[in-house]
Structure formats: C-alpha cells, structure tokens
Structure 1
Amino acid sequence: MSRPLAQDLTPEQRSLADAVSEIERHVSRGGWDGPVRVFALINTQSALNSDPDLAEQLPPATVQLALTDEHHLTSVEQEELPNVESLEELLGTIAWPHVVAGCAVVAERVVLPPAAESEIPTDPAAALQFVTSHPERNDVRMAVAVLRTGVSWCAIRAKSNDSDTEVAHGPDLVPGLIDAVRSTLEP
C-alpha cells in the first residue's frame, strides 16, 4: 500500500491517512458522477480479536499488518443509505455504535474559483445552470474521515487531474465536512 505523504504523522494519523487513501482509490475505480458513499472504520486488530473468523474474509496482507499495527483500520462500506435530498441530511441520519472507531464519507462537488462565486445567482435553478456551465468549474471528489479520537484526514481528487498521483491529502482540507462527519460519531 502506498503512503499518501512523506511527512511525519502519528501512528493513528498514518493509519487514518492510509484508510482514506485506500477508500478514495476504491471509489475512483468506479469513475465520476457517483453517489455519496459512507464507510465505517473499524480497528482491524480489535475486530480480529472479537471475531477470529474475520481473518478468512480479509486479504492475508491486511491480517499480517493488523497483527503488528494496533492502529490499522478496515473500512466497511455502508449500503442501502437513506434516500435524502442532501449530504447534510444524510449525515444527520447516521449514528455509529461504539465498535466503530471512525467513519468516512466520499462525495463529489463542483468548485469554482473564488472570483466566480460572487457571481452565482440567488435563484436555485439559475445558480445550478451557472455553476454547471461555468468554463472554470472543476469537479472534485472529497474523501473525508474522522476518528472518535478527533483525528481527521482528507483526500481530494480533481477531475481535471484524475490520477492517483495527483490526489491532495491533509488533515484539514475540508473543515466544514470534517465537522459534519465528526457529528455522526457524537453520542
């Protein structure tokens, strides 16, 4: 597994960064214009201790890594998400049991340069037309994850640079979405 960054990270940050990178690559294989996707993040070592049969379902390399890395995370995609109007509404419907160490959300958005944002019409239909036809628009895919400990990590891929080597990584690239994802972990 490739590491998203060379900078020094704590073991917990490194495990989360690796999980987010893996999730983002997995989603990217499906192409663009996909739905919002949600993943539970489970501590692999704890899961294997609770259910040794799980080792049969995981790749052998993952099992070996989990034996030596107490922070290793396994992502579990959540299927059959509620049919809602917005990402915010979806996140408002999610609550995780304590066995879930964290969660990740992957969503696509259209971004415009800051100068163009002030020109967006107030009428929703006109705004949609403006954004989708703007010559400087860029589609991005954001993968954002948060652990119960508060550690966060993000990966952002632009459609205009759709390559595994061109994905931006960092702990706080999408602050608003980080806060929204974090709220799903609150009791």
Structure 2
Amino acid sequence: MFFRKKKIEFSEEDFESVVRACLAGSEQAQRALFKQYFGYAKSICLRHCSSPEEAEEVLNEGFFKVFQHLDRYDPSQPFKAWLRTILINTAISHYRKNVKYTRDTVGLEDATYPKFDDNIIEKITADEILELVQQLKPIYRTVFILYVVDGYNHREIADLLDINEATVRSHYVRARARLQHLIKRSYPDLFPTDWGVQSYRQNEN
C-alpha cells in the first residue's frame, strides 16, 4: 500500500500562492516562478558576465539559491529586489572563484583614454552597449555595472569585492574610459572628424 503525494495547488496569477507552493516543495511552482522571472534575471546575469554561457551558469546557480533560501524572503518587500541581490552576489562569488583580483592602488590619473560627450551613449541601443560592456576586463565590468546600473556606491562596492575604495574608484574610471574607447572604435560615425585632435589637446592640458 502506498500514499499518493498530495498535489499542491497554486495559481500563476497569484504570486503569493506560487511562493507558498514553492516552499511546500512543488517543482511545478518552482518552474512557474523561474519562468516568470527568467527574463529579468537573465538581463542581470548578462550584465555581470563575459558570455551568455557564463551568464547561464550564474543564472542557474542564483535560482538554486533562491529556492534554497526562499523561506528567508520577506513578502512585504519586492521580490525582484530580493532576487536581484541574490543574483548580484552569485555573480560576484562566481567572479571570485574564477578570476584573480588585481589588488592595486593605481591613481585616477593613469586612465589616459580621451574623453567625449556622454550624449553619444544615448545614440546607441542598450544591447549594443551591453555587448561593449562585456568586452571590459572582468573587474572593470563588475565595478562599472555595480556603480552605474545597480546603484552601489564606491564604499559598498569595495566591501562587496573585498578591495579598498581607492582601487574601486580607479577601476571605475578605467572601465568608463575603456568603454568610451570601445564606442569610438565601434561607432566612429558618431564622432566629429577632429575628435582625435581635440582629445589629444585635452589630455595635454
């Protein structure tokens, strides 16, 4: 004699019922939650990773942690914010396991790439910018995304990455400068013909 496992009822339109079903062990509810937030979660992982394959690895590991610690989620808070924090921390952990940190204290003056009007960035699509950001060195990309997109300040980033604040600032300036260089190289038509001369003169002053 055996007992059939009771089916856990939930509605995909009722988020709270999905969470309750996940907590009760419903694999169907877990799939529903994953499906609902897949696009949002993937966009976060892509920003923090060098390739779609790496992003998928972080995404899967992040959702594993979500289901593992779902009992810690506070329903009074936005689920997206909680999910975002887990995914960012997962991406940082992934970075720590796979990339060696450069623990230097290089000054801001070492970023010698030329400057240009930030309005140029507005002429490029989000996907195009993301493609260029993924070409940055992992530490530059991580600092840049945490600061510009995720809204962390330099002190918070330093704590997350276990490096000093001066290094964070240096990495951010270098990341921004390198990104500007990549935009210039990839989209030269967005720049005036005398841009190189003007930039050289600015650096000399």
Q: Per the shorter chain, which TM-score range? A: under 0.3
Tell which structure's C-alpha radius of gyration is larger: 2
Greater percentage in strand: 1
TM-score relative to the length of structure 2: 0.21
Q: TM-score, normalised by structure 1?
A: 0.22
